[in-house]
Chains A and B, each alone.
Chain A
Amino acid sequence: MSFLEMVVFPFSYPFMVRGLLAAVIVGIVCSVIGCYVVLRGMAFLGSAVAHSILPGLAVGFLVEGQDDRRGLFWWALGTSVFVALGVGAISRRGRIREDSAIGIVFAGMFALGIALISTVRGFAVDLVHFLFGNVLAVTAWDLAVIGAFGGAILLLVGLFYKEFLVISFDPTLGRTQRLPVRLYQNLLLILMALTVAVSLQTVGVGLMLAMLVTPPSAALLLTRRLPMMMAASAGIGALSGLIGLYVSFYVGIASGAAIVLVATGLFLVLLAVSLVRSRRRHAFPANDGRDAFTAG
C-alpha cells in the first residue's frame, strides 16, 4: 500500500469520515477555549466540569432510556453549564479555597454519577465510552451538533475577544471601564462548559483536560500574542485530532487516547524547540528572542 493509499484508505469508511471531522472540530474548539483555561488558571475547573457531567448522563439515561442518545447529549449539556456556573459561584464566596471547592463538587458529582450508573445493568459499556470517548461512533446528528455548537463557541470568542482579554489579563481594568465583568466571566464559563459537553464523545471525560490544556500550552511556547496563540493552538489541536485518528486506525488503539498522545508528543517537541531557542538567546543576547518564528 502506497503512502497516498494509506492516507486515503480510511475514508472509504463513512464512520471514519465523520470521526475525522468530529476530531478536527473538537480539536480546534477545545484548543481555542483552552487558551483561556490555561491563561486564567481554570484547568482544574475544566476537569471538574467534565467529570461532573456523569450524574447528568446517568439521570438522562434513567429518564430517556438507553436508545435515546440525543436526549443524553442535552442532559450532558445542561449538567455541564449548571456545574460550571455553580462552581464559579462557590469559588467566589471566599469561605473555602477555590481549588478545595472545585474538588468537593468534582468528586461528589462523580461519585453520584457512578452510584446512579451502578443501579443500571448493561450501562457499563456506555460508561467506558463516556469516560474515554469513542469518536468512531459519531453519527451524522452528533456531527451536526458538534459543528453547530463549535461554530457558535468560536463566533462568541471572536465577538467578545476584547472583553475576554481584559477580564483575563486585568479584571480590575474591566471594572474601572464599568464592564459587567461578572457577566463576561460567566459567559466564558458557559462557553467552556459547552466545549466540554460537545467534546465528550470524542475524547471522553477522562482525557478532556488534555485537549483543553495541552495544545494551548504548546502554542504559548512559541507565540507572543493571544490571537497568534489561539491560531497556533487551534492548529495543534486540529493536527492532533487528524494524526491521532490515523494512529488509532492503523495501530488499533483507542481513538481518544491516540489523539491526546499525539497532542502530548507535539507539546514535547515544541517544548524542546523553545528550550533550545531560549538557550541560544542567552548565548547571543543581541538576538533578543524576536525571531521570525514568534512574529505576530
Chain B
Amino acid sequence: MRAADRRTRPLARWFGLQWPSVGSCRAMHDVQAPGRARSGVEHAACCPALRFQHVSAEYHGVPALEQITLSLDVGKRLAVVGPNGAGKSTFLALAAGLLAPANGTIEVFGHAPLAHLCISYLPQRAAVDWRFPVTVFDVVLMARGGRMGPLRRPSRADRQIARDALRTVGIADLASRRIADLSGGQQQRMFVARAFAQQAELVLMDEPLAALDVHSITEILELIDKLSDQGATPVVALHDLGIAGQRFDRVLLLDRQMVGYGSAEDVLSPERLRRAYGSCLRMIETEEGVLMIQDTACSGGHIDELP
C-alpha cells in the first residue's frame, strides 16, 4: 500500500465510500494502470457478452420493453433498430445496468451488469451539456475515474491511456480543445475514445450516427469495427436499416418487444419490418429486390394495431 493510500483510505471509509473489492476484468489493452483501486468482476470465459432472458422493463409502471431473449457472443457487432419509442434506449440502459428489469435476467459476461466496470455507455449527443468547461482530454480522462476509486488522482499511466485512446480514434490534436468547439463527428469520436480509455468490453452507443454527415458516419463505423477487432462488443442503436444490415453481425429489431434478432438477412425481412414500422416504412418491389423508404421521424405502428 502506498503512503497516499494509507492517508486517504480511512477518510474514504469514514465517508462510507468503500466499494466491495472484486476480481479483475479481463484486460483488453496492454497498458495497465498500477495500483488501481477498483476493478470489475472476473469474466466467465464460457459466457456470451450479453444475455437477456425473458426481460421486460417499465417506466413508472408503463411497459417499455417486453419479453426480450437474446444472446450475443463476444466481439460481435449488434445493431439495435426500430421506430422511435421502440425501446432502443431502454435496451441499452438495461444492458448498462442503469435500469433494473421488471422481469427476467440480464447477464454481461456471465454476471449482472452492475458488477462490471467495463461497460461503456455513450450518451446521445443531444443529452450532453456542450457548454461545460472541459477539454476533450478531460472527458476522456474521466473514463479512468471508475477504476481509480475515490480520493485518487489520475496517475501518469491513466493519462497515457487517455492519450493513447485519443490517438486511436485520430483526434490526438484536439486534446486541449474545449468540447464546445468540436464538430458532431469529433464529439462522437471523443466518446469512442472515452470507451477505449475505459478499456470497455461492452460498448453501448445510443444513436451515435444521428445528425452526422456521410464522412463522419464512415469514420464512426470504422471505429466500431476497431472496437470489435480489439475484442470489445459494440452494441449500437441506430436508425439507418441499410447500415445495420451491412455493417453489423447481428441485428435486433424492436417495437416494444422483440420483432426479430439474428443476422441481417433474417431480421430485416419485409414482413418483420412491416410489423415493427407499420406505415412508417414504404417497401417498393423492384427487379433488384425490395426498396425501402423510411421515415425516421415516425414513431412506428405497434403490432396490436395491425390487421
Residues of A within 8 A of B (CB): 39, 94, 159-160, 162-163, 165-166, 168-170, 172-180, 183, 220, 223-226, 228-229, 288-289
Q: Closest approach, in angstroms, between the C-beta of B117 and any C-beta of chain A?
A: 6
CB distance from B112 to the nearest CB of A (A): 11
A172 in contact with B16 given A177-B145, A226-B134 (CB within 8 Å): no
Q: Given known contacts A176-B98, A176-B120, is B114 in contact with A166 (CB within 8 Å)?
A: no
Q: How far is the CB of B147 from chain A (nearest CB, A)?
A: 8
Q: Quick check: A173 and B135 within 8 Å, CB to CB? A: no
Extra contacts, 9 of them, besides A170-B142, A223-B133, A226-B133 (Cβ < 8 A), are: A166-B142, A173-B145, A174-B145, A175-B96, A175-B97, A175-B98, A178-B146, A225-B178, A226-B134
Whether A165 contacts B142 by the Cβ 8 Å rule is yes
User: Chain B 134-171, CB within 8 Å of chain A: the 1/0 string?
Assistant: 11001100110111101111100000000000000000
Chain B residue numbers with a CB within 8 Å of A169 are 129, 132, 134, 139, 142
Residues of B within 8 Å of A165, CB to CB, are 134, 138, 142
Separation in Å of the A162 CB from the closest CB of chain B?
A: 5
Q: Say whether B123 faces chain A, with CB atoms less than 8 Å apart.
A: yes
Which B positions have Cβ atoms within 8 angstroms of A? 11, 16-17, 19, 38, 60, 96-98, 114, 117, 119-121, 123, 128-129, 132-135, 138-139, 142-143, 145-148, 150-154, 178, 181, 194
SS of A interface (majority): helix
Q: Known contacts A175-B98, A226-B133; is A289 also within 8 Å of B181 by CB?
A: yes
The one of B60, B133, B142, B152 in contact with A224, judged by C-beta atoms closer than 8 angstroms, is B133
Identify 30 residue pairs between A and B in the complex whose beta-carbon atoms are under 8 Å apart, listed by A's number. Answer: A39-B129, A39-B133, A94-B60, A160-B150, A162-B153, A163-B145, A165-B134, A166-B142, A166-B145, A169-B139, A169-B142, A170-B128, A172-B123, A173-B142, A173-B194, A175-B97, A175-B98, A176-B96, A176-B120, A177-B145, A177-B147, A178-B146, A180-B17, A183-B17, A223-B133, A225-B134, A225-B138, A229-B133, A288-B181, A289-B181
Closest to A169 in B: B132
Chain B residue with the shortest CB-CB distance to A39: B132
Contact yes or no, B119 A225, CB < 8 A: no
Q: How far is the CA of A169 from the CA of B143 in the complex (A)?
A: 12
Main secondary structure of the interface of B (DSSP, over half): loop
Contacts of B139 in A (CB 8 A): 169
The docked-state distance in angstroms from the alpha carbon of A163 to that of B128 is 17
A121 to B129 CA separation, bound complex (whole angstroms) = 50
Closest to B12 in A: A159
List, in ascending order, chain A residues with CB within 8 A of B60's CB: 94
Alpha-carbon separation in the docked complex, A102 to B181 (Å): 34
